[in-house]
């Protein structure tokens, strides 16, 4: 092989002819100038970084061979069929990112309002004069009734121990100077108690109901190994499920008539994760969670 043509490349191309070929039998192969420069630099032992970059840049453009035997630059890159949708993909990406950012910010704002800032004006006498709290003698129920009484609401305390009810009701009256009312109910017996509760709540403007009564196992155990399983099933279902449904049935109609009121159903994170040792209890907590979600849309409308 031999080189024919200019070395430095002012001519724009070099001609490569096969040794021994007859003149005119094969048209000379004309290389683009950048390729010719690279080949000549190889021959002269001067392959440099600049030459390498020049060759890569040159090879970025596809070339075609025309009918006369010459290789020429086609001048354009082959286009993908997706290139016409570039603008669409761009805006889909922008909208998706914007939506995700909006969701994240809304969760942060909701958490700040719920757990940090609070909204004291949202819960109080404007919902109704009375608050009904189940499981009212200790724990979560007692904390609810104290806070509601602090905001000026009268409190109906429901629990199964009349002695404890009287003690807590006396404390509420002395500390917060609000009226209280007590109702003794054992939610394990669902035959007669709800008629008694209904009669006790008759005529009260109930703004808040706190469904907080609950019971669990004496200790974690597999479902079929629970001691006295028949009684345990009835007890847990009556207290953790039936009570929520029946108390909601008693209180919700008057709230809807006044278009105001709040029902707080106390559930548990345990209801989100199955466990073989607390089968019944977790089932009831999951029920309370789903009941709260299912009852919201029709009551809002």
Total residue length of the chain: 301
**What order of strands is seen across the sheet that includes strand 154-159?**
180-184, 154-159, 130-134, 206-211, 262-265
Structure tokens at 229: 């399983």
The packing angle between helices 279-300 and 243-258, to 10°, is 10
Catalytic residue among 52, 102, 217, 281: 281
Helix (H, G, I), strand (E, B) or coil at 136: coil
Structure tokens at 250: 């008693």
User: How many CB atoms sit inside 10 A of residue 102's CB?
Assistant: 10
Structure tokens at 266: 């106390």
**Cα–Cα distance for residue pair 47/55, rounded to 1 Å:** 10
Q: Are 180 and 155 in contact (CB under 8 A)?
A: yes
Q: Are 115 and 139 in contact (CB under 8 A)?
A: no
Q: Are 293 and 272 in contact (CB under 8 A)?
A: no
Instruction: Give the DSSP H/E element, type plus range, for residue 255.
Output: helix 243-258
281 is catalytic: yes
**Cα–Cα distance for residue pair 13/15, rounded to 1 Å:** 7
144, with CB counted inside 10 A (0-12, 13-18, 19+), is buried
The angle formed by the CA atoms of residues 141, 146 and 149, to the nearest 5 degrees, is 120
Residues annotated as catalytic are: 281
């Amino acid at each position: 092989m031999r080189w024919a043509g200019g070395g430095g490349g002012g001519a724009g191309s070099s001609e490569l002819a096969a040794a021994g070929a007859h003149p005119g039998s094969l048209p000379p192969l004309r290389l683009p100038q950048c390729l010719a420069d690279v080949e000549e630099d190889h021959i002269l032992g001067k392959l440099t970084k600049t030459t390498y970059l020049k060759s890569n840049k040159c090879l970025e453009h596809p070339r075609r061979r025309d009918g006369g035997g010459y290789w020429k630059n086609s001048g354009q890159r082959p286009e993908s069929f997706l290139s016409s949708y570039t603008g669409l993909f761009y805006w889909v990406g922008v909208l998706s990112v914007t939506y995700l950012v909006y969701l994240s910010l809304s969760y942060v704002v909701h958490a700040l309002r719920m757990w940090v800032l609070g909204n004291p004006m949202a819960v109080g006498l404007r919902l109704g004069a009375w608050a009904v709290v189940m499981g009212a003698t200790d724990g979560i129920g007692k904390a609810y009734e104290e806070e509601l009484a602090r905001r000026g609401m009268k409190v109906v305390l429901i629990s199964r121990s009349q002695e404890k009810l009287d003690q807590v009701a006396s404390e509420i009256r002395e500390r917060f100077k609000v009226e209280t009312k007590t109702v003794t109910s054992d939610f394990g017996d669902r035959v007669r108690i709800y008629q008694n509760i209904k009669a006790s709540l008759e005529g009260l403007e109930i703004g808040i109901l706190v469904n907080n009564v609950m019971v669990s196992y004496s200790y974690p155990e597999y479902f079929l190994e629970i001691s006295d399983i028949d009684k345990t099933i009835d007890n847990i279902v009556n207290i953790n499920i039936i009570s929520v449904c029946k108390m909601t049935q008693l209180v919700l109609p008057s709230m809807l008539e006044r278009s105001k009121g709040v029902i707080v159903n106390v559930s548990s994170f345990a209801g989100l994760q199955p466990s073989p040792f607390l089968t019944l209890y977790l089932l009831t907590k999951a029920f309370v969670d789903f009941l709260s979600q299912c009852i919201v849309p029709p009551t809002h409308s």
